[in-house]
A and B are shown apart, each in its own frame.
Chain A
């Protein structure tokens, strides 16, 4: 089946540094990828829609200068959390659409200390 590979699975960073999360579609081309954030005991909240070769579309309340999204190829989208702060600690998950349905990455647990 269609697989989205997400890395890293977890990362701990110092406050003020930046962290990059990668999502790759392994056996299909993903012109669109979706990025979600999930806080403990809560649901997945859509952050942005990443489009290959164009600017991402951000949901209301999500700072585009803080959460930089790059979708430079049909198989790779990256989310960079810039100047991370403890409140950015969360579980970040990407999703893409193969021919049918949606497939999700395994998630990245970000802890900012």
Chain B
């Protein structure tokens, strides 16, 4: 299940199940979106990206969905593994050489 509180929201899933992590963004001018995975004490690790002219993109075991109408982004992880346990951030960017703006993040906890 998912819990939200003063700390990062946490999503707990059973190993082998699919995970869905959601992200709401606010900038309608954003044209590029990325999902990152961050393990404790490390920098963000690229997972998958999507441009605003697409609504779905698939990678290996991961799928990103983009709904520009409601400014919503989701990351789906198939057959979640213990190694997927980490904090996941969505990030958005306006067109050009602009910095990424990160969402609040979700901690994914995989139960073996």
0/1 interface trace, chain A 99-113, chain B, CB 8 Å (1 if under)? 001111111010000
Of B8, B97, B100, most buried by chain A (CB within 10 Å of CB) is B100
For residue A13, CB closer than 8 A to chain B, the reply is no
Q: Which residues of B contact A104 (CB under 8 A)?
A: 43-44
Q: Which residues of B contact A105 (CB under 8 A)?
A: 43
Q: Which residues of A contact B49 (CB under 8 A)?
A: 101
- Contact check, B43 vs A49: say whether CB atoms are below 8 A apart: no
- Contact check, B8 vs A107: say whether CB atoms are below 8 A apart: no
Q: Contacting chain A: which of B14-22, B63-71, B101-109? A: B101-109
Check A49/B99 contact, CB under 8 A, given A101-B34, A101-B46.
yes
Q: Contacting chain B: which of A39-47, A61-69, A70-78? A: A39-47
Check A46/B99 contact, CB under 8 A, given A101-B34, A101-B49, A102-B34.
yes
For residue A89, CB closer than 8 A to chain B, the reply is no
Q: Which residues of B contact A91 (CB under 8 A)?
A: 41
Interface residues of A (CB under 8 A from B): 6, 32, 34, 36, 41-46, 49, 91, 93, 95, 97, 101-107, 109
